Amino acid sequence: MAKCESDVSPRSTPRRSYHHGRLREALVKATVELIEARGLDSVSLREVAKLAGVSSAAPFRHFPSRLALLTAVAEEAQDRLIQQIEQSLAAVEGQNALQRFRAIGRGFLLWAITNPTHFQVISNRHIITYETSSLRGRNDQIRRQMSELMVEAAAQNLLRPGDVSAHEIGARALVYGLARMYVDGQFPSWGVSQPNPLDVCNAVFDQFIASISV
C-alpha cells in the first residue's frame, strides 16, 4: 500500500522531558490534522503517535483503542456543535417556535461546513463508539429540543397541515443530507457553482422552512 507524501511532519522540537505533559490533547489534535491532510482512512494510531512525537504504544496510556481516540474527536465535534446551536438560538431569542427550529438547522449547517473533519468523524458511527459514550445522550437532547419546538410551532398554527413528525424528520434529513453532500464533495457535480456552499445550504433549508410554514 503506497503512502502518499504530505505536509504533516512530526514535532520538530523534540520533547525536553520524558513525560509529554498534555499527550491526550496532543493526540486528538494530531488526529484531526492527519484527517485534514490525508483523509479519514489513512489515520493510523502509529502515525498519530509519530506526529505527537511519542512511540506507537504511548497512545494506549490515554485511549484504550483506536475507536476511543476517534470517539474523543467526536466528542470535541459535539461540543462545537452544541456551542454553535446555542449561539444560533441566542440570536433568535424571543422569536416564534418555527424561527427557533430554523435556527437549530442553520446552526447545524454552519457547524458542519466550518468543521467538515469533525462532522465526518461524528457522523461515521462505524469508527466511534456512539452508544456507550456521552454522544448519544447529548444528541438525544438536541433531538428533544427540536421535537418540542415543532410541537409548539404546530400548536401556534405556524405550520401547514400535515404530519408534524414528518415535518421534523424531513427537516433533519434535509439538513443532514446537505451537510453530507458537501463533505462528500457532491456539490460540484450538482452544478452548485455558487462561491459559498453555506449560502446554498441555507437557501435550500430556508425554502424548505418556508414551504412547510403557512
Minimum distance of a copy of itself from residue 156's CB (angstroms): 18
Among a copy of itself, DNA, none, partner that 3 touches (CB below 5 to 8 angstroms by kind): DNA
The three three-digit cell numbers of residue 171, written as one number: 427537516
**Listed residue (175, 166, 164) closest to 207, CA to CA:** 175
Residue selected from 5, 191, 195, 214 as contacting a copy of itself according to rule CB under 8 A: 191
- Report if residue 165 touches a copy of itself, rule: CB under 8 A: yes
β-strand partners of 213: 159
User: To 10 degrees, the CA torsion angle through 37, 41, 45, 46?
Assistant: -70
- Report if residue 101 touches a copy of itself, rule: CB under 8 A: no
Q: Tell me if 143 sits within 8 A of 209, measured CB to CB.
A: no
Per-residue mark of binding to DNA, 36-55 (x: CB under 7 A): -------xxxxx-x----xx
- Report if residue 1 touches DNA, rule: CB under 7 A: yes
Per-residue mark of binding to DNA, 50-79 (x: CB under 7 A): ----xxxxx-xxx-xxxx------------
Among DNA, a copy of itself, none, partner that 91 touches (CB below 5 to 8 angstroms by kind): none
- Angle, in degrees to the nearest 10, between helices 135-155 and 164-183: 130
- Report if residue 190 touches a copy of itself, rule: CB under 8 A: yes
Tell me which residues in 2-41 interact with a copy of itself (CB under 8 A): 39-41
What is the identity of the amino acid at 170? G
Between residues 46 and 125, which has the closer beta carbon with respect to a copy of itself? Answer: 125
Per-residue mark of binding to a copy of itself, 118-157 (x: CB under 8 A): -----x-xxx--------x--xx--x---x----------
* Phi, then psi, of 131 in degrees rounded to 5: -70, -40
Q: Tell me if 85 sits within 8 A of 142, measured CB to CB.
A: yes
Sign (positive or negative) of CA dihedral 111, 117, 120, 125? negative
The residue written with cell numbers 456539490 in the block is 187
* Residues of the shown chain interacting with DNA in the complex, contacts defined by CB under 7 A: 1, 3, 18-21, 23, 43-47, 49, 54-58, 60-62, 64-67
